[in-house]
Amino acid sequence: MTLPAPLLAASGSSESTGSDVSIVVWLLFTAFIVAMLILDLVVHRHSEGDDEEHAHVPPFKQSVIWSIGWTVLALAFTALIPVVHDGFGGKEAGEFVTGYVIERSLSLDNLFVFTILFSFFSVPIYAQRKVLFYGIVGAIVLRAIFILVGGALLNTFHWMIYVFGAFLVITAIRMATHSDEEVDPSKNPVLKAIRKVIPMSDEYEGSKIFTKQNGKRIGTPMLAALAMVATFDVIFAIDSIPAIFAVTRETFIVFAANAFALLGLTSLFFLIAGLLERFHYLNYGLAFILGFVGIKMLITDIWHMPIYISLIVIIGTLLVSAWASLKWPKDEGDGTDGDGPGGTAHTPAAAPVS
C-alpha cells in the first residue's frame, strides 16, 4: 500500500527517482514523532514543575543529556533510511543528514525569537514549556503542509526551483542586512488584530489561555504569546522548507529531517537560549547558508553539487560564525544582562497586553 497520488507526486526527487514510501511507513513514523513529543512534554513537566510555586529551570546537565540524546536519535535514524524504502541508500542517508543540519541550524533562529517573545510577554517558567510544546507541534504540522505543497509544485513545475532559489537568496540578503534589527512583538499585525477582537488581562493564571473577569471571557497573556509563536512558525516554515528542497526532493526525507530537527527543541532552548546573544555572528552564518542553498538551486541544471560539499560548507559556516562570535565578542553595552528564560524561576509581572 502506498501514498495517495497527490502525495506520490510530492515525493518525486530532483533526479526523478519516483520513489514511493508506503503509507504504513508514514503512519509509523508519524506515530513515533507523536510519541517522542509526548515524552519530551512529560519529561519537562516532571523536571520543571507545573505551577508557579514549583516551577524551576531544568538542570543544565539534564538539558545537555537530552539535547545530545535527540541528536544521537536523529543520526541513528540515518541507518534506517535504506529500510524505509528499497530505492533509498547512502545518497538519501546523506541527504537526510545534510537536511537535518540545515534545519537544526535554522532552528536556532527560532530559539532567539522565542527568547524575545518570552521576555516581552514575561512568560513564567512553568508556562514557557507549554508555549514551546504548542509551538513545536504547530511548526511540524505547518511544515508537513508546506513540504507536500512545495514537493508537488517542484515535481509539476520544474521552473519553481528557480523561484525557490531566488526566494532563498533574497531572504539571505534580507537576513544579512537586517541582522541588527530587533524583533518587536508590539508591532506585529496579528497581535494588534487579536487585541482589537479579544479583551486581554495583564496577569497569567497558570497556563490558562482564557479566563473570566467580571463575568466576561477574556484572553490571558498566554493567548498573545501563543499567537505570536504561531505567527513565527509560519514565517520560519516559509524560510526553511525551500532550503531543504535544495538538498533533496524526497518528501519523506524532507519531513523526517524537519521533524527530528524540531524534536528536543525545548531542551535546546533551556540549554542555550541564554547564550544565543553571545553568538552575534550567527545570523550572518545563517544568511550565508540560505544564500548558498539558494544559489545551489539556481545552478542545479548546470551542476548538481555533491552532498558532501553541501555538508562541509554548512557545518564549516556554522563553526566559523560561532568562532568569530567568541573571538570578537560584542561590547558589554550591546549585550544583554544574561537574564534569559533560563535565568530565574520567577519572572517579572506580565507586560500589559490589553
Map 252-310 to HEC letters: HHHHHHHHHHHCCHHHHHHHHHHHHHHCCCHHHHHHHHHHHHHHHHHCCCCCCCCHHHH
Task: Kindly tell me the sign of the dihedral angle through the C-alpha atoms of 214, 216, 217, 223.
Answer: negative
pLDDT at residue 96 above 70? yes
Tell me how many degrees the CA angle 2-140-310 measures, rounded to the nearest 5.
Answer: 85
Rounded to whole angstroms, the Cα distance separating 304 from 309 reads: 11
What pLDDT shows up at residue 335? 47
Give residue 100's pLDDT band: very low, low, confident or very high (50, 70, 90).
very high
Q: Tell me whether residue 342 is in a domain.
A: no
What pLDDT shows up at residue 180? 58
Give residue 3's pLDDT band: very low, low, confident or very high (50, 70, 90).
very low
Residue with the bigger pLDDT between 162 and 189: it is 162
Rounded to whole angstroms, the Cα distance separating 315 from 304 reads: 19
Q: Tell me whether residue 137 is in a domain.
A: yes
pLDDT at residue 207 above 80? no
Q: Tell me whether residue 205 is in a domain.
A: no
Q: What is the dihedral of CA 251, 255, 261, 267, to 10 degrees?
A: -170
Residue type, 136: I
pLDDT at residue 48 above 70? no
Give residue 235's pLDDT band: very low, low, confident or very high (50, 70, 90).
confident
Q: Tell me whether residue 297 is in a domain.
A: yes
Residue 33's Cβ-side half-sphere holds a number of Cα atoms within 13 Å equal to: 23
Domain membership of residue 254 as a residue range: 22-178+230-330
Give residue 153's pLDDT band: very low, low, confident or very high (50, 70, 90).
confident
| Contact assessment for residue 252 and residue 13, using Cβ atoms and an 8 Å cutoff | no
Average pLDDT over residues 181-191: 70
Of how many residues is the chain composed?
354
Residue with the bigger pLDDT between 140 and 49: it is 140
> Smallest Cα–Cα separation from 98: which of 330, 314, 346, 276?
314
Q: Which residues contact 342 (CB under 8 A, 6 or more apart)?
A: 57, 270, 271, 273, 274
Q: Tell me whether residue 237 is in a domain.
A: yes
Average pLDDT over residues 128-151: 88
Residue with the bigger pLDDT between 19 and 9: it is 19
pLDDT at residue 15 above 80? no
What pLDDT shows up at residue 13? 38
Element of type H or E holding 211: strand 210-213
What pLDDT shows up at residue 239? 77
Rounded to whole angstroms, the Cα distance separating 72 from 241 reads: 23
- What are the backbone dihedrals phi and psi of residue 212, each rounded to the nearest 5 degrees, phi first? -115, 135
C-alpha 113 chain-centroid distance: 11
For 308-322, what is each residue's pLDDT tens digit? 888 899 899 989 998
3-state DSSP call for residue 208? coil
| Contact assessment for residue 107 and residue 241, using Cβ atoms and an 8 Å cutoff | no
Q: Note the pTM of the prediction, 2 decimals.
A: 0.76
C-alpha 179 chain-centroid distance: 18
Residue with the bigger pLDDT between 257 and 63: it is 257
Q: Tell me whether residue 219 is in a domain.
A: no
Angle between helices 160-177 and 221-245 (to 10 degrees): 130
| Contact assessment for residue 124 and residue 52, using Cβ atoms and an 8 Å cutoff | yes
Residue with the bigger pLDDT between 237 and 340: it is 237
Rounded to whole angstroms, the Cα distance separating 322 from 318 reads: 6
pLDDT at residue 216 above 70? yes
Average pLDDT over residues 50-76: 78
Q: Tell me whether residue 250 is in a domain.
A: yes
Rounded to whole angstroms, the Cα distance separating 334 from 50 reads: 35
Residue with the bigger pLDDT between 323 and 113: it is 323
What pLDDT shows up at residue 229? 87
Of 64-73, 188-197, 333-342, the poorest mean pLDDT is in: 333-342
Rounded to whole angstroms, the Cα distance separating 51 from 309 reads: 48
Rounded to whole angstroms, the Cα distance separating 235 from 230 reads: 9
Q: Tell me whether residue 188 is in a domain.
A: no
Residue 209, strand partner residues = none
The number of folded domains in the chain is 1
For 20-43, what is each residue's pLDDT tens digit? 788 999 999 999 999 999 888 887
